[in-house]
Structure 1
Amino acid sequence: MSLHLVIANKRYSSWSLRAWLVLAHFEIPFTETLIPLDRPDTHARILELSPSGRVPCLIDGSERVWDSLAIIETLAERFPDLPVWPRAAAARARARAISAEMHAGFGGLRSAYPMNLGKRFARKARGGEAAARDIARVEAIWRETRAEFGAGGPFLFGAFSAADAFYAPVATRFDTYDVPVTPETRAYIDAVLALPALVAWREAALAEPWLVPSDEVED
């Protein structure tokens, strides 16, 4: 039975991007259904496929997995030969910890800097102290993880892993809003943006006909 991923707009849906990147980067065969956001039938259409009424949702035969972290753990179990998580135990533990931290937190950053792959906004402080703390924490995570585990390549653990998928939407946000960052952070952002799977996602995002007006205007 082939895997099927339910997602929302590639232009905006950061949680969809996380699951999709793992599937696409590791060349796991799958099909997708995209349900546009902010339309009268959006919730009803998602609810037909996802028990939570949210995306992403992975459909595997009769099974449905409707959370991005749960989807990625499911993929890691189903495809143990693929390095979805780093192979070394210490690196894998760190990768899971920082991914769970992103999954559960950073509300200030999320609300002040929504993902939008089709815009570039002028640099300015947004979101007050909460967003500033989140940005500083993200930079610290990237810096410390790269220093300890990243010697083998440009990603957090050298090679691309699920941890990079979790932080990829943040990398796009830093780029979209021209957030001032260190040269080391910028190098990591550039590596993420150059990932072939992310390039393909962005190209598809820019070809979409749907816009969410609230995410298209300067606040």
Structure 2
Amino acid sequence: MTDVKLVIGNKRYSSWSLRGWLAMKLSGMPFEEVVVPLYRADSHINLKAVNPAAPPKVPSLIIGENAIWDTLAICEYLAEQCPDARLWPEEIFARARARSVVAEMHSSFIALREHVPMDLSKRLPFERLPEEVEADIARICEIWRECRALYSGKGPYLFGEISLADVFFAPVLVRFFSRSVPLDENCQAYFDALWALPEFVEWRQAAEKEEWTITSYDPK
């Protein structure tokens, strides 16, 4: 098989890297992990050095001389190449709903991203967040409750079995955890199920061992 490498950033901080990495793990496709620390003066140079065929961003997937550098594009590639992994739900309308919530997560929730960055080194007591952040949290929890109401009979994840929808919301769990965001019973049950996913646990354990820190991520 052609050499496959996944270029990612710091596991403590890089939400998009987490998505790409989880998707790779769940697909079953063998790959080499290449970590490039972010938010350093030489980060862009180092990213271009390891993957000249892609923009200097993470994650990016190298397949021989080819590159894929958008997380959703990486996920779609994996779903096509690894059909046995069933990364999307099989039922047509469940699959359409999964794609819809993934697209929403991919392009929305700007306030949450800005005010509550992914940071696996933090666990702060809950404090009220800006109104626009609270609105993002409310919408995310609405998505979780709707999906669980429809598909809870098939398993503990958004669409019953693990899927790319869960992959896309995984970094949100870190954001919620870092600020001790209170959740209702249904959302907490989903949180606990995804938090315990072995691949997610593996990522967090690796993040704990990283020596790089980004001080700008400290809350004001």
SS in 2 for 1:81: helix
Residue equivalent to 2:3: 2
Q: 2-side partners of 1:186 and 1:109: how far apart? A: 18
State how many pairs are aligned: 217
Residue number among 101, 106, 109 corresponding to 1:98 in the alignment = 101
Q: 2-side partners of 1:150 and 1:22: how far apart? A: 22
Q: 2-side partners of 1:158 and 1:186: how far apart? A: 16
| Equivalent position amino acid for 2:7 in 1 | V
Q: 1-side partners of 2:163 and 2:116: how far apart? A: 24
Residue equivalent to 1:107: 110
Q: 1-side partners of 2:135 and 2:195: how far apart? A: 23
| 1:35-77 Cα distance to aligned partner (Å, 9 max, x none) | 0012221011112316221100011111100010000000011
| Equivalent position amino acid for 1:203 in 2 | Q
Q: CA deviation at 1:117?
A: 1.0
The TM-score, its normalising length taken from structure 1, stands at: 0.96
Residue number among 165, 169, 172 corresponding to 2:171 in the alignment = 169
| 1:111-148 Cα distance to aligned partner (Å, 9 max, x none) | 1110011210121122x221111000000000001111
| 1:136-172 Cα distance to aligned partner (Å, 9 max, x none) | 0000000001111232111001111000000010012
Residue equivalent to 2:25: 24
Percent identical across equivalent pairs?
47
Unaligned runs of 5+ residues in structure 1 are none
Q: Is the 8 A contact 1:193 1:199 kept in 2?
A: yes
User: Is 100-109 or 40-49 further displaced after alignment?
Assistant: 40-49
Residue number among 82, 86, 89 corresponding to 2:85 in the alignment = 82
Residue number among 151, 157, 164 corresponding to 1:149 in the alignment = 151
SS in 1 for 2:5: strand
SS in 2 for 1:150: helix
Unaligned runs of 5+ residues in structure 2 are none
Residue equivalent to 1:124: 127
Residue equivalent to 1:181: 183
The TM-score, its normalising length taken from structure 2, stands at: 0.95
Q: 1-side partners of 2:60 and 2:74: how far apart? A: 8
Q: Is the 8 A contact 2:27 2:82 kept in 1?
A: no
RMSD over equivalenced CA pairs, Å: 1.1
| Equivalent position amino acid for 1:2 in 2 | D
SS in 1 for 2:135: helix
Q: Is the 8 A contact 1:119 1:176 kept in 2?
A: yes
Q: Is the 8 A contact 1:143 1:185 kept in 2?
A: yes
Q: CA deviation at 1:12?
A: 0.4
Q: CA deviation at 1:210?
A: 0.2
Q: 2-side partners of 1:52 and 1:130: how far apart? A: 31
| 1:189-217 Cα distance to aligned partner (Å, 9 max, x none) | 111110000000000000000000011x2
Residue equivalent to 1:160: 162
| Equivalent position amino acid for 1:151 in 2 | G
Q: 1-side partners of 2:152 and 2:14: how far apart? A: 27
| Equivalent position amino acid for 2:75 in 1 | I
Q: Is the 8 A contact 2:4 2:63 kept in 1?
A: yes
SS in 2 for 1:168: helix
